[in-house]
């Protein structure tokens, strides 16, 4: 291991301790009332635990010893002893409830607050940021990292409250018998030292384990999300090995942490008991010499066990710090991202029956996924209200990127995109979604009913849903599903074919009656005959909407009023489909090449929609 890494590892426990208390400070400032309730409960518990020791000593002198000496216990003293024990037990029980209730509410409120904040941040961050972060990492940030960050809250009130217990207990021990108190407390420097050594070795391992949990979550999510690819390519073994290797690292780290705890836990339990044993040995001689009454020996021995428990509770608190600091840092890294999407206050005219579509202007737009490598350059065109524009280009020409820009999933690096003359960056949050809809290339369906997948909880009636399904040519297969609109589709719509999923995704956009509809190759898995019916129905029933469609097929392109031909990230040509075929050989070669490939696929035995159709699926 390099010297620098060793030095860093040596410094980590001290830094973890300081930063762990800093994390708790955040929780205390945010949840002052709950912290006060739980801490007061813990302090009351500590004081009553010490009182229990006093009651035990008093009962020894006034009830137990007289019973041995006279053969009978004084009735009044016996009743008093029982009453004291019951009273202390009842009030201590109430204090435990207050401590745990306050700590639990405090902990879960902080977790809920962070989860809401992380979710809001995910929604605010642009698509460009999400593309750089694995989904598994994002899930870990919102789940296990949040839980780890606030895990120390559970033992916090007990640790704080036991300070009072230690002070009261030590004061009572010193006041009862100075010699026995010194004998008993002499072992506690060793207890503190053992705790520090334990944290020194445990902290790096717990930090590493928390990081490995996040990495394991990322691998698991990738494997589950890509199950179709993994199974179709026969890579189950490799994925299992990849997961197993990371799981093995987490296992080894956790086992090592467990081994260290297995060594220190018995030691931390034994040292206070050695103190109790020493007090009893010295106490016997002092009682025999008449220097102290037996009740004081019992009192101090019991108080030693009471003092040992608070020190252990500090160990529990400190033991949570490594995971807490890692989780807190990962969550705060997300919340600190300053690349959120900015908004204005402008709004657009919503859909009105018979109203014209929106005017779309793309003005000298430039965009690069990676600085210095432009995907789109100087893109300029205008789509008049109610017109249909087809965007055509070879693979990697920037078509899908343009679609994400039109719907402001990302912002252009230069230039502007305007709807009805308003720059998208000047619109209020949600204003674009009120008048526009995007049908993405990959159709995502939720594990829910057909109705809820189309409406996403919106206020549309079943009649409106069926109307959208008819335009999307999805009404027939939906009607044939068991339950119709109430049929559940399974995770990601796995019970449907690719073409069926795309048609439901299109219906989801159409039910909103958008004035601007952007379709990113949204019918690629639908056979040409069904696609032609969809596009015809779309033109007849879209209510004058402006449509931008990323397309490959000649039939689709031919239905557009005009075409933008993208080549190497620039607008190579712009005009009608017929004009471009006549004057632009590159455009003609691209479109004709696709048609030739498509006919070859169909001659080999099936259209794209049928190729993706599961056995028994209804079209």
Domain harbouring 409, CATH code: 3.40.50.300
Look at residue 598 and tell me whether its pLDDT is greater than 70.
no
Strands 570-575 and 376-383: unpaired
Q: Please indicate, yes or no, whether residues 411 and 544 belong to a single structural domain of this protein.
A: yes
What residue numbers bound the domain in which 548 lies? Answer: 360-443+517-611
pLDDT of residue 364: 92
Token pair 């009130």: residue: 157
Q: Please indicate, yes or no, whether residues 247 and 393 belong to a single structural domain of this protein.
A: no
pLDDT of residue 540: 67
Q: Please indicate, yes or no, whether residues 183 and 280 belong to a single structural domain of this protein.
A: yes
Q: Please indicate, yes or no, whether residues 216 and 122 belong to a single structural domain of this protein.
A: yes
pLDDT tens per residue across span 367-425: 988 777 888 999 999 998 888 898 988 888 888 888 888 888 888 889 999 998 899 88
Q: Please indicate, yes or no, whether residues 37 and 134 belong to a single structural domain of this protein.
A: yes
Evaluate whether residue 415 is within a structural domain: yes
Neighbours of 228 (CB within 10 A): 10
Describe the crossing of helices 498-510 and 528-541 by its angle, rounded to 10 degrees.
0
pLDDT of residue 204: 78
Q: Is 568 helix (H, G, I), strand (E, B) or coil?
A: coil
Provide the whole-model pTM: 0.64
Task: Tell me how many domains the chain contains.
Answer: 2
Instruction: Look at residues 297, 320, 335 and tell me which one is the last residue of a structural domain.
Output: 335
Which stretch of 51-60, 86-95, 237-246, 302-311 has the lowest confidence by average pLDDT?
A: 302-311
What is the distance of C-alpha 517 from the center of its chain? Answer: 32
pLDDT of residue 92: 79
- Closest listed residue to residue 38, CA positions, set 109, 114, 115: 109
pLDDT tens per residue across span 16-54: 778 888 888 888 888 888 888 888 888 788 777 777 767
CATH number at residue 152: 1.20.1560.10
Evaluate whether residue 12 is within a structural domain: no
Instruction: Look at residues 335, 352, 378 and tell me which one is the last residue of a structural domain.
Output: 335
Q: How far apart are the first and last CA of the chain?
A: 62
CB 504 within 8 A of CB 472: yes
CA 610 to CA 553: how far, in whole Å? 17
CA 227 to CA 187: how far, in whole Å? 58
Which stretch of 456-470, 527-541, 567-581 has the lowest confidence by average pLDDT?
A: 527-541
Mean pLDDT of 305-318: 66
pLDDT tens per residue across span 102-143: 888 988 999 899 999 988 888 878 777 887 777 767 877 888
């Amino acid at each position: 291991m390099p010297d620098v890494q060793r030095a860093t590892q040596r410094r980590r426990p001290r830094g973890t301790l300081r930063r762990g208390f800093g994390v708790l400070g955040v929780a205390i400032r945010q949840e002052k009332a709950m912290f006060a309730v739980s801490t007061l409960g813990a302090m009351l518990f500590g004081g009553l635990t010490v009182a229990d020791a006093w009651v035990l000593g008093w009962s020894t002198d006034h009830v137990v010893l007289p019973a041995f000496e006279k053969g009978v216990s004084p009735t009044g003293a016996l009743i008093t002893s029982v009453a004291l024990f019951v009273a202390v037990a009842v009030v201590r029980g109430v204090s435990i409830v207050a401590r745990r209730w306050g700590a639990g509410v405090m902990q879960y409120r902080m977790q809920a607050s962070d989860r809401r904040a992380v979710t809001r941040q995910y929604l605010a961050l642009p698509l460009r940021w999400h593309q750089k972060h694995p989904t598994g990492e994002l899930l870990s940030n919102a789940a296990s990292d949040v839980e780890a960050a606030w895990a120390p809250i559970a033992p916090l009130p007990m640790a704080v409250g036991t300070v009072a217990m230690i002070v009261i207990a030590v004061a009572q021990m010193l006041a009862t018998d100075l010699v026995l108190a010194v004998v008993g407390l002499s072992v506690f420097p060793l207890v503190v030292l053992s705790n520090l050594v334990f944290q020194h070795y445990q902290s790096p391992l717990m930090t590493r384990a928390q990081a490995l949990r996040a990495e394991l979550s990322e691998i698991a999510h990738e494997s589950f999300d890509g199950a179709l690819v993994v199974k179709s390519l026969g890579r189950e073994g490799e994925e299992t090995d990849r997961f197993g290797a990371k799981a093995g690292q987490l296992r080894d780290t956790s086992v090592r942490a467990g081994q260290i705890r297995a060594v220190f836990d018995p030691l931390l339990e034994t040292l206070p008991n050695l103190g109790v044993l020493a007090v009893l040995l010295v106490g016997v001689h002092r009682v025999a010499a008449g220097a102290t009454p037996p009740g004081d020996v019992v009192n101090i021995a019991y108080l030693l066990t009471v003092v040992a428990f608070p020190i252990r509770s500090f160990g529990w608190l400190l033991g949570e710090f490594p995971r807490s600091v890692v989780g807190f840092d990962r969550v705060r890294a997300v919340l600190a991202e300053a690349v959120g999407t900015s908004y204005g206050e402008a709004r657009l005219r919503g859909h009105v029956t018979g109203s014209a579509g929106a005017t779309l202007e793309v003005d000298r737009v430039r965009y690069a996924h990676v600085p210095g490598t432009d995907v789109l350059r100087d893109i300029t065109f205008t789509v008049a209200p109610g017109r249909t524009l087809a965007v055509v280009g070879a693979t990697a020409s920037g078509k899908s990127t343009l679609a994400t820009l039109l719907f402001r999933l990302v912002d252009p690096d230069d230039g502007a995109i305007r709807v009805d003359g308003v720059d998208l960056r000047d619109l209020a949050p949600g204003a674009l979604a009120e008048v526009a809809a995007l049908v993405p290339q990959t159709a995502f369906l939720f594990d829910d009913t057909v109705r809820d997948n189309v409406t996403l909880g919106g206020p549309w009636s079943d009649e409106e849903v069926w109307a959208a399904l008819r335009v999307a040519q999805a009404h027939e297969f939906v009607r044939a599903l068991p339950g119709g609109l109430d049929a559940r589709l399974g995770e990601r719509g796995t019970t449907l074919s690719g073409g069926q999923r795309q048609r439901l995704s299109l219906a989801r956009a159409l039910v909103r009656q958008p004035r601007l509809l952007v379709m990113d190759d949204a019918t690629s898995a639908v056979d040409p005959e069904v696609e032609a019916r969809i596009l015809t129905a779309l033109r007849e029933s879209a209510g004058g909407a402006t449509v931008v469609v990323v397309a490959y097929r000649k039939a689709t392109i031919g239905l557009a009023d005009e075409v933008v031909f993208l080549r190497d990230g620039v607008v190579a040509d712009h005009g009608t489909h017929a004009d471009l075929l006549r004057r632009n050989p590159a455009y003609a070669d691209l479109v004709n090449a696709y048609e030739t490939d498509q006919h070859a696929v169909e001659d080999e035995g099936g259209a794209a929609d049928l190729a993706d159709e599961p056995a028994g699926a209804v079209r």
